Amino acid sequence: MISKTAIKHLKEKLGEKNVLHEKEDLLVLGYDSTPGVHHLPEVVVYPTSTEQVLAAMEIAAREGLPLVPRGSGTGLSGGSVPVRGGMVLTLTRMNRILEIDEENLTATMEPGVITLDLFNAVAAKGLFYPPDPGSQKISTIGGNVAENAGGLRGLKYGVTRDYVMGLKGILPDRSLITTGGKSVKDVAGYGFKDLLVGSEGTLGIITEVTVKLVPPPRDKRTFLAYFNDVRTAGEAVSRIIAARIIPSTMEIMDRVTINCVEDYVNIGLPRQMAALLLIEVDGHPAPVAEEAAEVRRVLEQVKAAEIHVAETAEQAASLAAARRTALSALARVSPTTLLEDATVPRSRLAETFGEIERLAAKFKLKVGTFGHAGDGNLHPTVLCDERNHDEMERAHAFYNELYEKVLDWGGTVSGEHGIGLAKKEYLARQIGAGGVKVMKRIKQSFDPEGILNPGKIFEDQDSGAEQHLEEGFRVSH
Amino acid sequence: MSHTDSLGNFRPKDAPEYEDVLQCMRCGFCLPTCPTYALTGRERSSPRGRVALARAVAEKKLEFTGAVKEEAFFCLDCRACTTACPSGVKAGEVMEVCRSQAHAFYPLGAMGKTFREFILQRMLVSPDLLEHSMLPTRLYQRLGLQWLVRHLGILKLGPDWMAKAEGMLPSLEKPLRPQLPEVVPAQGEKRGRVGFFLGCVMTLLYPQVSRQTVRVLSHQGYEVVTPKATKCCGAPHLSEGDRQTARELALFNLDLFLSQEVDWIVTDCAGCGAALKEYEEILAEDADHHRLALFRAKVRDISEFLAAEGLRTEGMKEVRRSVTYHEPCHLCHAQGISNQPRQLLKAIPGLELREMAESSWCCGSAATWGLKYSEESRQVLDRKLQNVTATKADILVTANPGCQLQLAWGVRQADMPQEVRHLMEILGEAIPD
Ligand SMILES: Cc1cc2nc3c(=O)[nH]c(=O)nc-3n(C[C@H](O)[C@H](O)[C@H](O)COP(=O)(O)OP(=O)(O)OC[C@H]3O[C@@H](n4cnc5c(N)ncnc54)[C@H](O)[C@@H]3O)c2cc1C
Ligand code: SF4
Ligand code: SF4
């Protein structure tokens, strides 16, 4: 239990309204978007400056409270769920863009800036920040960095890591660090900036982010292609890549997903089609025209059922927006949506679809699949009811077998959502005991006391922190 | 399959459906659209947080605590979250239901009861009483509001709410209802028979608006029936958590309008329209399904109706002004009507429509919310007014009396040049006599 004095000190340092400990506030900050996990913190703080983050950390350390950084809680692997209770440190009130440097093409900001707000702010200056997770309307930059989030433009432009140039943060030993900066080249010492990216809030709290900006593409062409079966869509993806074309976007939705999205957006997606691909090529006008012609040729070759080209920029934008809602729209169908993040080498895409179909039938599950097809990053999503334990068991078995295959094919258990709580067991399978050992040593050197986000990525038995589970909420996962 | 008790810690009557709260997958898409989350940055004042609270009560992880009650009433019921939610969760409606739960768990004190009985259950259910109260003196005095303010701690109305309420009142004309003929004939070739649902606030505070609505309908070829017996739609009661009186009113209006043999039931009040369209749900257990469906199929907002039927524009007069359009929550979010008012504005010759940023962001009025949370309401309103100012339009158009009151007040307070008008006033200007 957190002491009254600790609460008092927190309020002194952070201000009355930035420290919450009523049951109702704790209840609503014990989850992220990962289904089936909910654990109560003991206190929630909303620092508004680096100094306040530091003060909160000091108090947490003194009280022996686990400390869990949180952005907007859109994470899909349980990263910001306080499994051992303690303090949830929410960074959404540190949301200022500090600088957009047009000479160096960088932007520097606090971690709570909403991804879309950054995108819009730089776009207003004629610049482009490419990473765009489906959750961009509400996810924070800090959360994106901590998860190394990908997005709809990942195929050509890469993921968050490719844009992070510098970070400031506080390590669990309360030291302030700066790593990287505005220099395009920097090889001074170990590159632990790259360690912090994707560290899922276990190595340090990021308090400032500098990202690289690029000039926006001059032109783009958006295709929407429909298919009578999912495997053909997968084949189209492989063939486009094989034709040496790198579209900026190549997103897929299967029939179940198309229907859920259409229920929400009502833009006339054909409900009977087995799959759709959203393909965008961008860049300078001349190559764009050439690539667009090539994409069309491949689509015709594989016999796509229908091929459409977006006529206006708004139309293209609304298609991308519709795709972004896929996961949330799937949640219409059933009380619980269990989503995974299976990623395979692109040449295996068609087979992966086959495998998903086979396993869904085998375990009698309703599965909707969508994802970043161009990256080989699929999100098979089991639509189920967490009150039905038998169904949850089958879902578990489904993912088990699927990941078995994915790993056999040289894929990964997480393309972008991270390991968090949800995939600890699979991580060990992917990287082996040796890999886990090295990772634990890294964690140990950053966080010898084990106070920062314990219980994530891998089991940390040595932390000694008490298990703080809220009974009844956990489902097998 | 192990079932959690579907009611949990809720009282059985008028509890949220467990399935409705389970549907939330906590993606957070609703967060950036919620005015109360924008105000506080506090998760429990967000749609996702509110649904989580309701879920915790349903799962017996939480009692129906004071904080839950607070959130139920702090929610503006603007339904922006409903529009934003891909999963089909209706956080605003869940909170509306929770308001009646709040009364079950925290019974009103004597004064609160008096308020409820007097205003909600006596004045607002009787158009005659309401109108008479208007005649001799100002609305708020005769409604006993002044008396209530002095005696009523319980409603926690904001400190300066009375000054605001008084400041908001437009100069009053005579109520429209007694003046309006029960049947106004169609002009030109007749296109049908419309039942006009005249709202309480419309007849009392904005008679000139509804007068135009009837005139426009008649000009457009519709015979207009305005039943004198019409009672309040029930929206204020739902908003205060008095679902029982709301149901009684709904039943009355349902019978009344179905007996008129009209092709459509049209209203120019977005709040009334939203309530009428929800009779199906409110009365699900109290009325015949067939009749509810029949009623629902006839209800239209005036802009929805005219846009769908096609405006007769020949002979329309020019209106050489620029306007910007504020979307009432109960039109765009509750009824999904967003394009139609714009279509009508664009059809008026000479009129220039200048879009404002965030046109569907709430104005902060929200029934009595703006009086209870006057400081917060001011902040929501300021954001709106800034967006209005940026357009430099001559006229600020809306389509709901609550918004009109709040916006007109705000514009006056901020010394802005804009006139604030109902869509039907502008359209009426273009319709020849
Ligand atoms: C509908 C939907 C679509 C999505 N689409 C995508 C997608 O296309 N691509 C993708 O990659 N992800 C996607 N996600 C997952 C999620 O949005 C991302 O992981 C996102 O980056 C999380 O950001 P957040 O601000 O919500 O962080 P949270 O969920 O709050 O936190 C995520 C992790 O980051 C840590 N953290 C947060 N802030 C900090 C900080 N300042 N310092 C240190 N650690 C911190 C937390 O401890 C936690 O481990 C999607 C999620 C949803 C709900
Ligand atoms: S209410 Fe809807 S939009 Fe909001 S978090 Fe839940 S599912 Fe997402
Ligand atoms: S109805 Fe409005 S105020 Fe209430 S939760 Fe939804 S968006 Fe927020």
Ligand 3 close to Cβ of residue B35 (< 6 A):
yes
C-alpha B80 – ligand 3 centre gap (Å): 6
d(CA A55, CA A62): 11
Mutate to test the pocket of ligand 1, among A31, A46, A76 (most ligand atoms within 8 A of CB): A76
Determine the distance in angstroms separating the CA of B274 from the nearest CA of chain A, rounded to an integer: 20
Of B1, B31, B65, the CB nearest to A72: B31
DSSP secondary structure, A376-396, as one string: TEEEEEEEE-TT-HHHHHHHH
Full strand arrangement of the beta sheet holding A87-90: A19-20, A43-45, A87-90, A67-70
**Nearest ligand atom owner, CA of B30:** 2
Show pLDDT as tens, one digit a residue, over chain B (433 residues).
334 455 899 998 889 998 899 999 999 999 999 999 999 999 999 999 999 999 999 999 999 999 999 999 999 999 999 999 999 999 999 999 999 898 888 887 766 677 667 667 766 677 776 676 654 445 555 454 544 444 444 345 555 666 666 667 676 677 888 889 999 999 999 999 999 999 988 888 889 999 999 999 999 999 999 999 999 999 988 888 889 999 999 999 999 999 999 999 999 999 999 999 999 999 999 999 999 999 999 999 999 999 999 999 988 999 999 999 999 999 999 999 999 999 999 999 999 999 999 999 999 988 778 888 889 999 999 999 999 999 999 999 999 999 998 999 999 999 999 999 999 999 999 998 8
d(CA A203, CA B413): 52
**Burial class of residue A211, CB neighbours in 10 A (0-12, 13-18, 19+):** buried
d(CA B294, CA B195): 14
d(CA A290, CA A170): 48
pTM for this entry:
0.92
3-state secondary structure A319-356: HHHHHHCHHHHHCCCCCEEEECCCECCHHHHHHHHHHH
- Tell me the ipTM for this assembly: 0.94
* pLDDT tens per residue, range A380-417: 999 999 889 999 999 999 999 999 999 999 999 999 99
Inter-CA distances, B144 with A74, B58, B118, B133, B285, Å: 48, 38, 9, 10, 35
Q: Closest by alpha carbon to B48, among B35, B58, B37, B40? A: B37
Q: Judge whether A261 is closer than 8 Å to chain B, CB to CB.
A: yes
From first CA to last CA, the distance across chain B in angstroms is: 67
Nearest CA in chain A to B83: A264
3-state secondary structure B155-170: CCCCCCHHHHHHHHCC
The C-alpha angle B400, B402, B405, rounded to 5 degrees, equals 110
CB contact under 8 A, A35 and B25: yes
Closest CA to ligand 1's atom 44? A201
Taking each helix axis from N to C end, the angle separating B66-74 and B91-105, rounded to the nearest 10 degrees, works out to 130
Q: Kind and range of the H or E element at A107?
A: strand A106-109
Ligand 3 close to Cβ of residue B275 (< 6 A):
no
**Burial class of residue B131, CB neighbours in 10 A (0-12, 13-18, 19+):** middle
From first CA to last CA, the distance across chain A in angstroms is: 28
d(CA B135, CA B178): 12
With beta carbons under 8 A apart, name residues in chain B contacting A33: 25-28
**Nearest ligand atom owner, CA of B32:** 3
With beta carbons under 8 A apart, name residues in chain B contacting A260: 86
Sign of CA dihedral B119, B125, B126, B130: positive
Ligand 3 close to Cβ of residue B52 (< 6 A):
no
How many other C-beta atoms can be found within 10 angstroms of the C-beta atom of residue A422?
A: 28
Q: Kind and range of the H or E element at A253?
A: strand A249-254
Phi/psi of residue A148, nearest 5 degrees: 45, 55
Phi/psi of residue B321, nearest 5 degrees: -140, 165
